Structure 1
Amino acid sequence: MERGARTLKAVVIHHDLSARGGGEKVCVTVLELLHEMGFDISLVTISPPKIEEIKKAFGKDVSFVKEVHKLLPFRLRMFGIYQRMFTLIPSLRVEGDICLVTHGDVYPYLTSKIPTISYCYFPVVALIQKMYPSKYQHGFWRAYFEPYRMTVGLLMGFAMKRNVVVTISKFSYNAIKELFGVDSIIIPPPVDVETFSKAFSREKEEDLIISLGRYAPEKKHEYAIYVLSKLPKNVRLKVIGTLAPTAVTYYNYLKRYAEKLGVADRVELVHDIPLNELLDIMSRAKVLFHGYRGEHFGLAVAEAMAAGLIPVVWDYGGQSEFTPKEYQFHTLEEAPKAVMKALEASPSEREKVHKIAWNFSEEKFKKRFAFLIRSVLKMAK
């Protein structure tokens, strides 16, 4: 993208592209969009990006990013929320025409003297409030979180009023508005609908439920096991997610819990499977059960819908904004009934949820974000 005879430079700030989560998916898609729009790109990060790992995880080649400003020469695998804050340091060395922050927090970067768009998935400082379920509300994690809350709470309050704030759902919009009194722009995150549509089928034969998400206590995979224990014995469950060394204790707990409820023979815990294997499972499964209450958006939910799975989710959180109301539940005791209804869903219902997922395609995300970038640059002239 040019202004006069000069190519414009975009500064993209993201702490760790090796994490392979939803935020990294957003960052890689934004990098690709900026490249397509003709920007020169400067990436500010904590750890150096590994191009081949990114390509393997997201199917995107970001080798066009030639200018990288990093804080460390190696990947730091801990202190994730603090890493975001530390991106303030390498950002001091960077100049550009527009800044895009994709790690999820909103800080007053010195690059804020140029137009800055911050993609805030959810205001992290809100996670100590009881209405937003989080590990940061108790014990060790509460103590770990407190310095961050005190520092970032002040920084975000200032930065929110200087940046153009984008968020992913009405649920997150309301939290930002309540905490900071700022209106944000809702742009749902990009979903690889084309890939997951390969698993779509109107007719699914197996009474199979999946629970999809990394192995972590906050994902509440045990709720899926509990629900299974209330269903007929022909129904099976596969729990699918990435397994970090720190999550092995939780993984083993799920095994013991399935044994305790007498459903171990109907539960399979799988981890770190390749995409083609996940698509094969999705092509056979009928239902996605999502146990995380208060999800900010629900990327896994949208991916499963693209594959034609009926989503059974809580009626609280971002995922409740785009899933059919008849498959939502208010208490865990209501969930088995919702799952049974989903297992009996007609082919037309699968077609319906599949079509909903296309609202979140990468193409639509890029169109919305490109329009925003051009609008922000135009206002800054």
Structure 2
Amino acid sequence: MKAAVYNRWLHQKGGGERHSAMAAKVLSERFETELVTHRPVSREELSDALNIDLSNVTVRVIPALPPNRFSAFTREFDLFINSSFMTNQPSEADHSMMLVLFPSPIDRSRGAMIRQTIGRFLMRELLLPEWLDGFYDVQELGSGWFRYATGQANIRVRVPSSTRRASIEIVGGNFREDVELPVRCLVDGEVIAERSFPPNPGSFETWQIDIDPSRMHGNTVELVLESPTFNPIDRFEGADNREVGLAVTDVRVRHLRHYLYEIMFRKAFRELGLRLEGLPTFYSLDHLDTYDVICPISKYSRHWMEVYWGISGPILYPPVDISWAQARAKTHTILTVGRFFRGTHEKKHGLMIDQFKRMCREGLDGWKFCLAGHQSGRAIDVAYTEELRRRAEGYPIEFAVDVPFDKLRQMYGDARIYWHAAGYGERADRNPVRFEHFGISVVEAMASSTVPVVLDQGGLPELVTDSHDGFVWSKAENLRERTWQLIRDPELCSSMAARARISSRKFSAEAFRMRLLELVAGLFDN
């Protein structure tokens, strides 16, 4: 039997990607298993970066596909697992499972429902097209937006009831640099117009097509656009791996109602126009119905899955490789591990630096604070780390950026206390995605007999039982107080460290393996 584990972000080789790779390794015990992604990455790269033996797994790179084409692709598998972060692709495999790191936010409040109703009314009355099949998601370009079509793409166009003969304009462009793009327009399987678009990246031309009334079904007509496709990744390293044809920015009926749309939502209120374009897909949860079981990675993620999607599912905690963890002779070190970057999920390094500096001013002596993690290469992220270094000057604070895994393992083993502050200062009711959904580095620290002192939000309280195998805190002063308590009471610190090591086993790779196989067996038994 064949199984596939899908993750479009596999090339990033982060915690979510380790989740996917470990799932593939487990499935390879019973299935012919593929890891499916869109950007080239070798099995050897993944094995080395994620420290997972993938010798029985095949890595398969496919072009990114619109939902309907992707769904058709999954038919070849007996089991399909979507473990890609916030990637809403459907499945038509015999058995399907979704692993949810954190759910895509869908506002299901009464206000949101009213806004949706108004939006759909505007789309209908202003004669906006329906992008039925074969189009990728909307993309911004300059002050406007467009969609790439695949080799065959379907559009339904509304026409006013008073119109006898519809004049429809397709505003599209050929974003290749050197080859013309021939396009055919079909209605009911018959070619009604053809046009060749010259190469002109970023520019659009208007193609007018007259539709005979006999081609219309009530007040609508369904057009099919056919063209050759190309893949940008063939020419530009790092580009999206997609098979794309015509770039379409609008399909419009020449009527006062559509002119009104162009004035209001293409020019005057552009942001609202962009929301209208994404309305049908943004609020859709149809893809969830194609999965037999949906597994969040924590109680925290499950809670927000229930809020956003109105569904629940069995928890499958991520696999944490703790086989390497060892309790070394402890030093007076506080450790934190997390990527150095700016974004929605940043690790609040600045807060921790400030709290350690304050502890030093309160009399802490002979201790150091070490910040370890991968450095993101964006200029804004490099500048962020440089600012942290300046902030730490004059204090026993060390940075271990992009250190080899063996060195990181040693640091875990040496540290006596582990800090984690992701999400501090954020509001869970407004930005729940900014909190830690699980906390792999916390489990790694616990397995190394390092006592965790972590924020009491997100998925972290599921890992740490307060005052048993670590401490949780809600305010910055609590972080300092709990840390002082451990520093001043070595016996308490040692006993908590021993309990933390035991607790970490609940999240081991073997625990993940047993739980995943149990869930898969349940699918095939039904």
Q: TM above 0.5, one fold?
A: yes
1:207 paired to 2:336: no
* Residue in structure 2 matched with residue 62 of structure 1 by the alignment: 54
Q: Normalising to structure 1: TM-score of the pair?
A: 0.81
Contact 2:24–2:34 (CA under 8 A) maintained in structure 1: no
Higher relative contact order (CA 8 A, sep 6+): 1
Give the 3-state SS of the residue equivalent to 2:421 in structure 1.
coil
| Paired amino acid for 1:117 | M
2:505 matches 1:358 = yes
Corresponding residue for 1:49?
Answer: 41
Distance 1:31 1:170 in 2: 23
Aligned pair in 2 of structure 1 residues 40, 354: CA closer, same or farther (>3 Å)?
A: same
Aligned to 1:369: 516
Q: How does 1:318-329 map to 2 (within 5 A)?
A: 318-326=459-467, 327-329=471-473
List 4+ stretches of structure 1 deviating above 6 A. 85-88, 145-149
Q: Does 1:334 align with 2:478?
A: yes
Whole-Å Cα distance in 2 between the matches of residues 66 and 328 of structure 1? 41
Equivalent-residue separation in structure 1 for 2:518 and 2:300 (angstroms): 23
Kept in 1: contact 2:42–2:59 (CA 8 A): no
Deviation per CA, 1:82-131: give whole Å up to 9, x if none.
xxx8687556434111110111336342x33532110001113269x9xx
1:363 deviates by: 0.7
| Count of aligned positions | 334
Q: Relative to structure 1, is the Cα distance of residues 43 and 19 closer, same or farther in structure 2, using a 3 angstrom cutoff? A: same
Superposition RMSD in Å: 2.6
1:126 and 1:301 map into 2 onto residues whose CA distance is: 29
Q: What is the distance in 2 between the residues matched to 1:148 and 1:335?
A: 46
Change (3 A) 1:122 1:162: same
3-state DSSP class of the match of 1:346? helix
1:285 aligns with 2:429: no
Equivalent runs, 1:287-326 vs 2, <5 Å: 287-293=417-423, 294-326=435-467
| Distance (Å, rounded) in 1 between the aligned partners of 2:297 and 2:104 | 14
Tell whether 2:396 aligns with 1:258.
no
Distance apart, 1:268 and its partner CA: 0.9
For 2:501 and 2:281, how far apart are their aligned partners in 1? 39
Sort the Cα spacing of 1:86 and 1:282 in 2 relative to 1 into closer, same or farther, 3 A: farther
Structure 2 runs not aligned, ≥5 long: 110-270, 424-434
Larger displacement relative to structure 2 (51-60 or 266-275): 51-60
The AA in structure 2 aligned to 1:168 is I
| Structure (1 or 2) with the larger CA radius of gyration | 2
Partner of 2:355: 227
What's 1:269 paired with?
Answer: 399
Give 5+ residue unaligned stretches, structure 1. Answer: 1-7, 73-84, 130-142
- Asked if residue 22 in structure 1 is aligned to residue 156 in structure 2, the reply is no
CA 1:233/1:56 → structure 2, altered by over 3 Å: closer, same or farther? same
1:135 corresponding residue in structure 2: none
Q: Distance in 1 between matches of 2:93 and 2:296?
A: 22
- SS at 1:41's partner residue? strand
- The 5 Å alignment of 1:137-176 reads 153-155=282-284, 157-163=285-291, 164-176=293-305
Q: Look up the match of 2:167.
A: none
Distance 1:371 1:266 in 2: 48
Secondary structure of the structure 2 residue equivalent to 1:237:
strand
Measured in 2, the distance between the counterparts of 1:352 and 1:173 equals: 27
Letter in 2 for 1:357: S
In structure 2, C-alpha distance between the alignment counterparts of 1:100 and 1:211, rounded to whole Å: 32
The one-letter amino acid paired with 2:44 is E
Where is the helix percentage greater, Structure 1 or Structure 2? 1
